[in-house]
Every structure is written in C-alpha cells, then in structure tokens.
C-alpha cells in the first residue's frame, strides 16, 4: 500500500531491493556462463545446449512450481529458494576453480537455477499486486523490469565478463553471494497467510509481521485442499480459455522462438565473427541493457497513451528488425549499437505485458497463470536455441540472425491480431477482466 507521495510502500521496497541484489548476480552469471561454455566447446550446438538446458525446466517442472507459488507463503518460497540457489552456484565456482568442470555441468547448473527461477519470479510477480494499488501497477512493474534489465545486463554483464577474464570461477562466486545476500531484504516482505486463505483483493504493507487483514484457516480448508496437479490444471485452464491472455501467449511464443537466436548465439557473433575479446561480450550486453532500461522507463507512458496493442506490436516489430540487422555487423562497435537499438523495444514490452497479465488474472491464480504462460513462452526457447544452433551450422551464423528477426516480425503481426480491438482505453480488456 502506498505510504507517501512518490513511494510505493515498504513492502515494495523489500521486493525491489531483493530483486536488485539477486538480479545483479544473475547478470554476472548470464555473461559468464556462455563465455565458459564457449571455452569448453566451440560447437554452436554444444554452446546452444547450455541455453536449452537453462529453459528446459519451463516445459518439465513449471506446472508444479506454479501450484506451489499459489498454495504456500510466497515470502517463504523466495527465502528458501534463494538459499539453495546460492549453494548451487557456490558448487559451480568450486568446480571451475579446481578445473573439473565440463559442459554437462553447465547444463545441470543452468537447469537447477531456472528451476529456482520458476519459484522466485512468479512469486515476485504475484506479490506486486499485493503490495501496491492497482493504479500503481505500471509504475511498480516498470521499476522491477528496469532493475532486472540494468542488473542483468548493464551492471552484471560487464562485471561478469571482466571477472571471467580475471578468474573464471570468480563470477560464479559473485552470483552465489548475491543469492544469499538477497535474503536480507526479502526477509522484510510482509508475512502472508497461505494464498488459498486470502481474499483476492487483500493488500499487504509494512515490515515482516504486519498485514492489513487476517484470515482464519479452518480445518475444512486443510482437509479438502486439492492436489498440486489439480491446482496446476486450474491455472492452465484459466489461461487457455482467456480471450485475451491466451492469444497473446501464443504470439509471445513465436517472439521467443526468434529471440532464442540472440540468447544462444550472440556470444559466438561477438567472439568469433567480430573477433572481440571476452570483455567485449559484456560491453555488448551493457549497450543492450541501456536501451532496455530506457524502454522500460517509458513503457508506462506509452501504454497509457497508445494502449497495450500499439505498444506491444510496435516494440516487437522494431526488435525483430534490429535482430535481423545483427547480420550486418562488422565489428563489436556496430554490434553494440544495434544491440542498444534492439534493447529499447525489448525493455518497453516487458512491463506492459506483465501489467496486462496481472490485471486480467485473480491473484489467487496469478502464480499458476504466470508459470503456465512462461511454460509455453520460455519452453519454446529450448526449441529455438537448439534449432538456431543447428541452423547456424547449416546456413551460417549471420543468416540465422536474419531468420530470428523475421520470426519476431511475424510475432508482432500476431500480437496486433490478438489485441486488434484494443484501444488506448482497453474496452475489451476491461470486459475480460470483469
């Protein structure tokens, strides 16, 4: 709940600071992991396999994670998961330092960290509407998205690449410390009751231990609780039958199919095609992050003035053109400039799409619906990463980026169709929400 002018409240501050620390470590790892993969194996197929492993949990354990997020205290889920993620990264740092690491170790770690992400990220998404008012959602999501972008790429990317050049194990130690350190602000999140005992419009504020409303859990609630499988199925059915969210999810799947090219093969474009050193990969990521930060900061204004349809469609189209333009790169400087241009629309679309999902989904289902949507949109990256690696081996690295950009342009057309009756005042969205 908002406590002062310009403030989103102490609950949001705890969420923001925890995300800031955790995502800084994520950015360091996201830069260092592909560099380590490229050192261990120069094959595009093997390098892209690490990216595929990173997104594989979205098509395997994601439904269970969404049901857990909506069933149990999201604060406790975040604290527990951040703890064991820190231990996993510490183990990787030790294996790299002792020179016993292999490419399959990276795949295992990538899978495990994403399995934790399936618990943490939907918990954060579901907590945002509980700690801020509805009219503050765009602002809150813009700030969360901004910190994710800045820390993942702008701050984390250069630090991860530089630390890797100094000592390959160092960035993974930094990541482990970030997970463990994020527990401190996350502990200040409001202590919440199990989600299935809360009214959908309950707001939480203040430090740990304070809530604006309490609800008594009855014996009947505990003894008649449905199975996790039934809970997961309920979230999937809601998404699948929704007249707005499902078509947007399908269009977003197509988007990530094309975007997987950049996720999995950018490191090869920088290191081998452009001949850049390890630190230059972090510089390219940083340029993209600057653009994405700008996009995220103006996304709320664009959504209010243009509506979600025009914002999401234009952003996706422009990003597709920029991704295809990567094929024209001749140097690290050109790559950095194009990646900056691609970052602006990429950053603009994230908070707009997130607010759309939050407004159209009851909070008791938000964790499951968020995971169900990501199960499709992230799971397709497994196909895209492996496919782009094989395509690069067949037609060349640069041509693969053209194909990826064309796929994103197709996604923009699908988004325009999915939201074709939506204007600046979102009348069909308001109807769907009701």
* Residue 136 contacts residue 6 (beta carbons within 8 Å): no
Confidence tier at 365 by pLDDT (50, 70, 90): confident
pLDDT tens digits for 331-340? 888 888 888 8
pLDDT of residue 89: 94
Helix (H) or strand (E) holding 384: helix 363-395
- In whole angstroms, give the CA distance from residue 348 to residue 346: 6
User: Does 4 score more than 60 pLDDT?
Assistant: no
- In whole angstroms, give the CA distance from residue 405 to residue 262: 9
Helix (H) or strand (E) holding 244: none
**What angle is formed at CA 248 by the lines to CA 244 and CA 254, rounded to 5 degrees?**
160
- Short-list 192, 158, 187, 136, CA closest to 18: 187
Instruction: Go through 186-216 and write b for each residue having 16 or more CB atoms within 10 A of its CB, e for each that does not.
Output: bebbbebbbbbbbeeebbbbbeeeebeeeee
- In whole angstroms, give the CA distance from residue 410 to residue 412: 5
* C-alpha pair distances (Å), 395 with each of 43, 391, 392, 404: 14, 6, 5, 13
Judged by average pLDDT, the poorest of 71-75, 209-213, 296-300, 348-352 is: 209-213
pLDDT of residue 174: 92
Eight-state DSSP code of residue 201:
T
User: Does 432 score more than 60 pLDDT?
Assistant: no
For residue 48, give both structure tokens: 């892209």
Average pLDDT over every residue of 230-243: 86
Confidence tier at 193 by pLDDT (50, 70, 90): very low
Look-up: residue for tokens 């530089």? 162
- Short-list 371, 324, 349, 330, CA closest to 419: 349
For residue 326, give both structure tokens: 């990567």
Look-up: residue for tokens 């354990």? 61
Give residues with Cβ within 8 angstroms of 189, minimum separation 6: 11, 14, 15, 18, 75, 78, 127, 208
User: Does 254 score more than 60 pLDDT?
Assistant: yes
Judged by average pLDDT, the poorest of 69-78, 155-164, 306-315, 369-378 is: 155-164
pLDDT of residue 220: 40
For residue 158, give both structure tokens: 């250069």
Query: pTM for the whole thing?
Result: 0.64
Average pLDDT over every residue of 317-336: 86
pLDDT tens digits for 97-115? 998 888 888 999 999 998 8
Confidence tier at 93 by pLDDT (50, 70, 90): very high
User: Does 208 score more than 50 pLDDT?
Assistant: no
Average pLDDT over every residue of 182-192: 84
Average pLDDT over every residue of 360-371: 83
**pLDDT averaged over the chain?**
79
pLDDT of residue 333: 86
Average pLDDT over every residue of 357-383: 82
The domain 10-195+231-433: what is its CATH number? 1.20.1250.20
Average pLDDT over every residue of 168-191: 90
User: In terms of DSSP H, where are the helices of 98-169?
Assistant: 103-131, 137-149, 156-166
Domains of the chain, by residue range, sit at 10-195+231-433
């Amino acid at each position: 709940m908002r406590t002062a002018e310009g403030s989103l409240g102490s609950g949001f501050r705890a969420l923001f600071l925890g995300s800031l620390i955790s995502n800084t470590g994520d950015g360091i790892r996201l830069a260092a992991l592909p560099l380590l993969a490229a050192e261990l194996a120069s094959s595009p197929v093997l390098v892209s396999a690490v990216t595929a492993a990173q997104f594989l949990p979205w098509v395997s354990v994601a439904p269970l994670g969404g049901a857990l997020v909506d069933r149990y205290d999201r604060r406790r889920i975040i604290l527990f998961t951040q703890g064991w993620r820190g231990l996993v990264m510490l183990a990787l740092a030790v294996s790299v330092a002792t020179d016993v690491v292999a490419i399959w170790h990276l795949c295992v770690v990538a899978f495990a960290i994403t399995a934790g992400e399936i618990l943490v990220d939907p918990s954060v998404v579901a907590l945002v509407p509980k700690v801020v008012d509805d009219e503050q959602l765009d602002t809150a999501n813009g700030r969360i998205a901004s910190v994710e972008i800045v820390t993942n790429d702008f701050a984390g990317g250069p630090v991860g690449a530089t630390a890797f050049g100094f000592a390959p194990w160092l960035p993974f130690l930094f990541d482990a410390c970030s997970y463990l350190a994020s527990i401190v602000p996350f502990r200040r999140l409001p202590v919440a009751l199990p989600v299935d005992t809360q009214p959908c419009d309950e707001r939480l504020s203040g430090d740990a231990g304070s809530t604006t409303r309490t609800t008594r859990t009855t014996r009947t609630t505990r003894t008649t609780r449905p199975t996790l499988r039934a809970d997961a199925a309920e979230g999937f059915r809601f998404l699948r039958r929704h007249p707005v969210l499902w078509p947007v999810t399908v269009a977003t799947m197509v988007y990530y199919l094309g975007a997987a090219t950049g996720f999995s093969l950018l490191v090869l474009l920088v290191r081998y095609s452009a001949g850049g050193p390890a630190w230059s990969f972090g510089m390219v990521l940083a340029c993209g992050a600057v653009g994405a930060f700008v996009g995220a900061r103006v996304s709320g204004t664009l959504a209010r003035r243009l509506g979600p349809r025009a914002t999401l469609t234009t952003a996706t189209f422009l990003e597709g053109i920029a991704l295809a333009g990567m094929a024209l790169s001749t140097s690290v400087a050109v790559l950095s400039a194009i990646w900056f241009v691609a970052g602006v629309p990429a950053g603009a679309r994230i908070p707009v799409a997130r607010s759309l999902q939050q407004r159209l989904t009851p909070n008791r289902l938000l964790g499951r619906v968020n995971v169900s949507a990501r199960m499709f949109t992230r799971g397709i990256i497994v196909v895209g990463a492996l496919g782009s690696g094989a395509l690069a081996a067949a037609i060349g690295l640069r041509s693969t980026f053209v194909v990826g950009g064309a796929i994103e342009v197709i996604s923009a057309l699908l988004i325009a169709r999915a939201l074709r009756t939506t204007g600046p005042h979102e009348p069909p969205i308001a109807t769907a929400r009701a």
